[in-house]
Amino acid sequence: MNNKKLIALTTAFVKDTLAGAEGGHDWFHIERVHRNAILIAKGENVDMLIVELGALLHDIADAKFHNGDESIGPRIAADFLRSLQVDEKIVAHVENIIQHVSYSSSLNSDVKGHAASEELKVIQDADRLDAIGAIGIARAFNFGGFKNRPLYDPGVNSNPDMDKESYKKRQSPTINHFYEKLLLLKDQMNTRTAIEIAEQRHEFMETYLHQFYEEWNGNK
């Protein structure tokens, strides 16, 4: 099977699997990450097939929506690729990327195998870019609403130094999420392209937060 057909079949599989998903983790999120990954990869020495497959399948079964089970996504992706008789080395690489691409996974120092690959770095940057800026803000509040979390509570302090388990169990207001993840991402980008894009998106979030507090406090 040629790569173009494999990408087309994978795209169709992801669209079908994520039909009706939460708005911040639906097909359109995957599409944006896929585009980001292709853009970033142009400046990196990577295997484009791995990058595209990893980007398309990275959230095929996000653990947040499966009772925290981090094994489901890699398993679904691997089973799908094997059903198309994809080379086992490619399957293993994509599976490993999905296991380690999330922000919570980066809080775990136990990283092995392909986890440090250049392809992972590209996909991780692509995913993180979609978590910041205007779309990142929209996604944060959409997920907060999905979980019925308050927008903001001045009495609840943010904790930017959580370990993986604490981060996964948090139930804090959406504004806290900026300080616990979103504002930290700019300095965690791996590639030059992502670093440049992240600067502007980070500044936008800071401007948004300033306006949010002005309005919250009745100043504007």
Query: What is the rounded end-to-end Cα distance, in angstroms, of the chain?
Result: 59
Taking the C-alpha atoms of residue 85 and residue 150, their distance in angstroms, rounded to an integer, is: 46
On whether the CB atoms of residues 76 and 52 are closer than 8 A, the answer is no
pTM for the model = 0.90
Taking the C-alpha atoms of residue 55 and residue 144, their distance in angstroms, rounded to an integer, is: 24
Among 100, 120, 102, residue whose Cα is nearest residue 50: 120
pLDDT for residue 143 is more than 70: yes
Q: What is the DSSP letter of 186?
A: G
At 170, is the secondary structure helix, strand, or coil? Answer: coil
Structure tokens belonging to residue 18: 């994520």
Among 23, 115, 89, 13, residue whose Cα is nearest residue 56: 13
Structure tokens belonging to residue 21: 């998903």
pLDDT for residue 148 is more than 90: yes
Q: Under CATH, which number does the domain 3-216 receive?
A: 1.10.3210.50
Structural domain boundaries in the chain: 3-216
Cα 216 to chain centroid, rounded: 29
Confidence band (pLDDT; 50, 70, 90) for 173?
very high
- State residue 200's pLDDT score: 97
Q: What is the DSSP letter of 2?
A: -
**pLDDT tens digits for 15-67?**
999 998 888 899 999 999 999 999 999 989 999 999 999 999 999 877 676 66
